[in-house]
Structure 1
Amino acid sequence: MTASPDLGTPRTATPDLLRAVFRQHAAGVAVITAQGARPVGFTATSLTSVAADPPLLSFGVGTAASSWPTLADAEHVGVHILGEHQQELAATFARSGADRFGPATSWRSGPEGVPLLGGVLSWLVCKVVARVPAGDHRIVLAQPVVGDPAGPGRPLLYHQGRFNALRD
């Protein structure tokens, strides 16, 4: 029998424990957008590729988020993969009360009326196929319908509560 590595002292699972563990998990940074009475969007690190056939992705959104009422009804959403040059954009879409679609944000109305951000690494417009309750969040499942993978730069990452760039 092989000796196990030191795993430290286990802690009871709490929201704080989950946050502490996931601070150790480096994640790509995306912005999710939708159009309602006005455009809405938020920074997400929960973006996941779910299936290749048919193509499906998922992301989580809090039901207390200002974007949720629009996302709860949206038929289509925009998914934007941010580049390392877009830390300020990521921070704007993460900040409560920020003017996310103000003059400092480059965007246009795209397919299906979805707000598309400028200068991103890649983007997709997706049809929402399900919203799954998950505690104080919803997991949104969406099927890409159109997109562009050819933007400039390298990906932005989120780790230890900060936006980071890849190191060479």
Structure 2
Amino acid sequence: MTPHDTAHSGFETVVDALDYPMFVVTTTDGTRRAGCLIGFAAQCSISPPRFMVWLSKRNHTFQVATGASTVAVHRLDASATGLAELFGSHTGFDTDKFTRCRWRPGPGGVPLLEDCPGWFAGEILSRHDTGDHLGLLLRPIAATTATELGPQLGFRAVRDLPPGNEP
């Protein structure tokens, strides 16, 4: 086994043990709406506040986000497994997910999920090619006023969902 193989194997061991928080990202390009379940996301600056989300390049939401200026990031509570399944196991290429959930228009027309009390909308400041995912650097422009959020939904709770888009 080469040092590269050992590093790859060790990396896989470490990341397999993580329980990433899960989010639903929604957006619009003015014509189409889209949304998907994501596990790659993080706050990346405190002052000024910045957040980064990564979208799979195979995803319908990725295609819509290329023409979008704003996205909404919805924090999923542990009880939101139905939304996780809807936005993670169905593809916008053939399903209008928004006919299957409650939502309202937010900043720039971005869909806000009514059953997700924890959300913020962010202006896309820049896009970053990071491999099979595209990173969107966000500047928060609007957010929920909810003060109490339930326990967070983690990756381990949804890891067995069939993907809406094949990797």
TM over 0.5: yes
Superposition TM-score, scaled by structure 2 size:
0.80
Closer, same or farther: CA 141–127 of 1 in aligned 2, 3 Å: same
After the TM superposition, which residues 16-165 of structure 1 pair with which residues of structure 2 at under 5 Å, given as runs? 21-36=14-29, 37-97=31-91, 98-102=95-99, 104-150=100-146, 152-159=149-156, 161-162=159-160
Show structure 2 runs of 5+ residues with no match.
162-167
What percent of counterpart residues are identical? 24
Please identify which structure carries the higher helix content: 2
Q: Matched residues in 1 for 2:115 and 2:126: separation?
A: 29
Show structure 1 runs of 5+ residues with no match.
1-9, 164-168
Closer, same or farther: CA 111–129 of 1 in aligned 2, 3 Å: same
SS at match of 1:153: coil
1:13 aligns with 2:23: no
8 Å CA contact retained: 1:50, 1:56 = yes
Could you list the structure 1 runs, at least 4 aligned residues long, displaced by more than 6 angstroms after superposition.
none
Q: Matched residues in 2 for 1:68 and 1:19: separation?
A: 25
Deviations 1:15-61 (A, max 9, x none): xx766643310111110000122210110111100101111000111
Q: CA deviation at 1:100?
A: 1.5
Superposition TM-score, scaled by structure 1 size:
0.80
Deviations 1:105-156 (A, max 9, x none): 1111112211000121411010000101111211110100110151653221
SS at match of 1:11: helix
Q: CA deviation at 1:11?
A: 3.5
Please identify which structure carries the higher strand content: 1
**Considering only aligned residues, what root-mean-square deviation do their CA atoms show, in Å?**
2.2
Q: Matched residues in 1 for 2:7 and 2:15: separation?
A: 15
